[in-house]
Chains A and B, each alone.
Chain A
Amino acid sequence: MVASQGTGRSKDVTTARGRIPAEPGIWVFILLDMSIFAEMFGIYAWYRAVDHDLFRSSQNAVNPLYGLIYTLLLLTSSWCVVMAVSAARQRLIELSSKLVLWGFALGAAFAAIKIVEYCAKFSAGITPLTNNFFMFYFVMTLVHLLHASVGLGVLVYMRRQVSHLAQSTVGTDGRRMRMIEVAAVYWHMVDLLWIVLFALFYLRG
């Protein structure tokens, strides 16, 4: 079955198995972006295998409590965004808008605490040039922080789309919902990447 929603070219892609969330194009972005992270994870694993003792001893200087807080913040934020999409589908505009705002606030808290953690490292004399572990630690978490910062902008955009849903016409309604889902998919990618970074840098095994 092929169903369409919205106007003209802006069709939702549906198949017998179900609808592709958001639109196919965002998945091109998500999969390519995650493949670059996967490449970095692979390089990290290689370096860690070569110099296991250095990586293990350096990891002791990373406070796992930070990692736990970040994970809770991002998971809760993602939950808020999921619920916001669900509320938007039911046209509970006010609830959806509030949930996106909570998602944003938790994401912003993540970014703020990350900066505090960086400052604590710098004041302790630890920089990306200290050794290979901290090179990966700073670069990979910074790249993730940049993704999260873009994600905060995306959530602002998402909230605007949610608030405009109330005034949507039949023609624009489908497109707004699609872009709300695009924003949510991006934010979940930020969350998913964090889970791997948490395991790599904060969990001691």
Chain B
Amino acid sequence: MKPNESSRFDSQLERLGAWSGIAWVVVCGGGFGVTGLLPVQAASSRPAELAAQLSEIKYQILIGMMLVLIGGLTFLITWSITMAYQVRKYANPSPLAFYGMVAVGLTGAIIGMLCAVIGSAMAFRVDTLAPDTTQLLYDLIWFLFLIPWPPFMLWQLLAGFAILSDQNTGVMFPRWLGYFSLWASALEVFSALSVFFYDGPFSYNGLVTFWVPGASFFIWVLVFAVVQIRAWKTVKDGLPQVTAAQPALEAHDDAGLVLIPESAGI
């Protein structure tokens, strides 16, 4: 393959990868909607009542979880690799930040897969399982969704600090997206509360613990993907073949200056 053909193929993949972020939000979010599991039942629900409710929506759960599997696994992998690649290409060339974001993206995809597999197994056996076992599987779905928050926080911090770094030329990622990523990362912490409360705003079906970090993560992916897609024309017309960080570094007389805390590791 000639170099320009390779570059063209890469550009097409970048574009598709950015769109897969939107696809993830629609298919994975829609999948959870289809399951009929939203709004989530309280952790203090009686096992028999919960099992009876889940039995009624058994096939909804199975179809919805299939969508979560497609969205949560496939599209999160393609989007996370694309966003990490583009952050490296257009914002900050740090290889550590790149590999960190790819690793967390893959972790997120595995978590999405586990949610869907456990949800499917729960629905598959809901008519014969003991209700408290069904409830345990139900707990597992939401604990998987909520409590592995630290790597996701790392993901958003890496993206945020990379975008805010002085090497970002702003050709694809505006600085406000960096601050937006830092805000989304801060909200991940709320998920940690879900293991302590059985009802109320801080339990796993609570407004603060479930909806704030859950919705903010979906919104973060959506906003990020929209920025990637909208900036595509500028990037394509501007500097498609060049690593943006290099000219930016040369332009400054103090190229070593990075206006972010060095503890960020970028």
A126 within 8 A of B: no
In contact, B254 and A129 (Cβ under 8 angstroms): no
Closest CB in chain A relative to B76 CB, distance in Å: 23
The stretch of B19-27, B114-122, B132-140, B201-209 that contacts the partner chain: B201-209
Task: Evaluate whether A7 and B179 lie within 8 angstroms (CB atoms) in the complex, with A139-B193, A157-B261 already known.
Answer: no
In contact, B200 and A171 (Cβ under 8 angstroms): no
A40 within 8 A of B: yes
B249 within 8 A of A: no
In contact, B202 and A28 (Cβ under 8 angstroms): no
B33 within 8 A of A: no
The stretch of A53-61, A69-77, A83-91, A172-180 that contacts the partner chain: A172-180
B253 within 8 A of A: yes
Task: Evaluate whether A43 and B212 lie within 8 angstroms (CB atoms) in the complex, with A9-B169, A29-B180, A169-B253 already known.
Answer: no
Closest CB in chain A relative to B174 CB, distance in Å: 7
On chain A, the residues within 8 Å of B174 by CB distance are: 25
Closest CB in chain B relative to A205 CB, distance in Å: 23
In contact, B180 and A8 (Cβ under 8 angstroms): no
Closest CB in chain B relative to A126 CB, distance in Å: 15
B175 within 8 A of A: yes
Task: Evaluate whether A39 and B207 lie within 8 angstroms (CB atoms) in the complex, with A9-B169, A25-B178, A176-B259 already known.
Answer: yes
A65 within 8 A of B: no
Closest CB in chain B relative to A122 CB, distance in Å: 14
Number of interface residues of B (CB under 8 A): 34
Q: B170, B187, B257: which has the most chain A beta carbons within 10 Å?
A: B257
State A10–B167 Cα separation when bound (angstroms). 11
Name the residue on A nearest B263 (C-beta).
Answer: A153
* A contact patch SS: helix
B233 within 8 A of A: no
State A161–B257 Cα separation when bound (angstroms). 11
**Which of A36, A128, A150 has a CB less than 8 Å from the CB of B187?**
A36
A33 within 8 A of B: yes
B99 within 8 A of A: no
On chain A, the residues within 8 Å of B166 by CB distance are: 175
Name the residue on A nearest B169 (C-beta).
Answer: A9
In contact, B253 and A23 (Cβ under 8 angstroms): no
In contact, B251 and A7 (Cβ under 8 angstroms): yes
**Which of B180, B183, B187, B259 has a CB less than 8 Å from the CB of A175?**
B259
In contact, B254 and A39 (Cβ under 8 angstroms): no
On chain A, the residues within 8 Å of B251 by CB distance are: 7-8
State A67–B170 Cα separation when bound (angstroms). 43
In contact, A171 and B208 (Cβ under 8 angstroms): no
A32 within 8 A of B: yes
B189 within 8 A of A: yes
**Which of A29, A139, A176 has a CB less than 8 Å from the CB of B182?**
A29
Interface residues of A (CB under 8 A from B): 7-9, 23-26, 28-29, 32-33, 36, 39-40, 43, 47, 128-129, 132, 135, 139, 143, 146-147, 150, 153, 156-157, 161, 169, 171-172, 175-176, 179
**Contact sample, A vs B, 12 pairs, CB 8 Å cutoff:** A9-B169, A24-B176, A25-B164, A28-B176, A32-B183, A36-B212, A43-B201, A43-B207, A129-B196, A139-B193, A143-B190, A172-B253
